[in-house]
Amino acid sequence: MLTPNQFEVELLTGLRITSEQDGLKACNTLHSAGPRKVIITSALIEDKLLLIGSYKRTEEQPPEQFKIEIPKIPAYFTGTGDLTTALLLGWSNKYPDNLEKAAELAVSSLQALLRRTVEDYKRAGFDPASSSLEIRLIQSQDEIRNPRVTCNAMKYK
């Protein structure tokens, strides 16, 4: 599995990602290099934050592709990229044949954790938009282990 963000996928493929079609093309380019599962973990396209997933069940079949629209949270966080990859890998291990479900659980976990982080900073009197926030991993263990799916995958045709 390969899990680049938008910046990383542009560097890896030499493609500029300005549309969903560009994201899908980049996934196909990465598939041709070997990985059967590719997830662009975050791409800002037309003012929407998206996860774009693509997987090949067999080498001969075209990839199945999907997206998840990720709600924007008006704050800057430290460590979200690494956590996203860890969650994707963990849920993919539990659901090896259902990348959409793994991605839904990973994104939903992350969103719950980020909302908790913002709430904790506000309760402590900090403005979450004013500086980088350290994510609340320990306090969010339940949301990580048993997330409520709030972000759903939509298949591309």
To 5 degrees, how large is the angle CA 54–CA 59–CA 64?
25
Residue at token pair 């949270």: 73
N-terminal to C-terminal alpha carbon distance within the chain: 22
Phi and psi at residue 148, in whole multiples of 5°?
A: -90, 125
Q: From the candidates 22, 47, 82, 97, which is the catalytic residue?
A: 82
To 5 degrees, how large is the angle CA 84–CA 17–CA 11?
70
Active site residue 82: yes
Q: How far apart are CA 63 and CA 15, in angstroms?
A: 19
Catalytic residues: 82
